[in-house]
């Protein structure tokens, strides 16, 4: 009986060592795939910024953050896109332009009829 228990124990130990080795190699592959996905989204964000598509750049930067929240690259791309979105307009001379004055809508208020109160 002790021989069977020793044999089963040795088989389980061998199987656990094999599984530990395989899981480590899969983890390295997953990290490499995750980095590749993040870089794809960062490249897409950069291309969108180059074509003046700021909303697309923000979208791809958010996708990079979702793909790897621990990576700072996605946050930097998002920060750059947001800065460009809210950057004040500049003229050719480099002076900051004032915002365009728009007419305020006028609301006409009709007086209510006297109800005798």
Residue 48: helix, strand or coil by DSSP? helix
Domain that holds residue 54: 32-87
Residue 91 has, within 13 A of its CA and on its CB side, a CA count of 6
**102: in domain:** no
> Is 57 within the bounds of a domain?
yes
pTM: 0.55
| Ordered per-residue pLDDT tens for the chain, 117 residues | 688 888 888 888 888 888 877 776 666 777 888 888 999 999 999 999 988 899 999 999 999 999 988 889 999 999 999 988 887 766 555 555 555 555 555 556 566 566 666
Q: Residue 3: what pLDDT?
A: 81
Q: Report if residue 52 sits inside a domain.
A: yes
Our count of domains for the chain comes to 1
In a domain, 27, yes or no: no
Q: What is the full DSSP assignment across 53-116? A: -HHHHHHHHHHHHHH-TT-HHHHHHHHHHHHHHSPPPB-TTSPBPPPPP-PPPP---PPPPP--
d(CA 52, CA 76): 18
| Predicted local confidence at residue 98, as pLDDT | 53
Q: How far apart, in whole angstroms, are the C-alpha atoms of residue 85 and residue 58?
A: 9
Q: What is the pLDDT of residue 29?
A: 75
The residue among 11, 83, 81 whose CA lies nearest residue 46 is: 81
pLDDT at residue number 107: 53
Query: What's the pLDDT at 71?
Result: 86
């Amino acid at each position: 009986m002790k021989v069977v228990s020793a044999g089963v124990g040795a088989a389980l130990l061998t199987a656990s060592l094999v599984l530990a080795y395989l899981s480590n190699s899969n983890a390295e592959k997953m990290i490499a795939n995750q980095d590749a996905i993040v870089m794809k989204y960062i490249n897409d964000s950069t291309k969108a910024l180059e074509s003046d598509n700021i909303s697309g750049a923000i979208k791809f930067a958010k996708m990079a953050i979702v793909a790897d929240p621990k990576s700072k690259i996605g946050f930097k791309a998002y920060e750059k896109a947001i800065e460009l979105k809210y950057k004040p307009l500049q003229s050719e001379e480099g002076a900051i332009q004032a915002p365009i004055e728009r007419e305020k809508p006028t609301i006409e208020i009709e007086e209510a009829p006297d109800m005798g109160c």
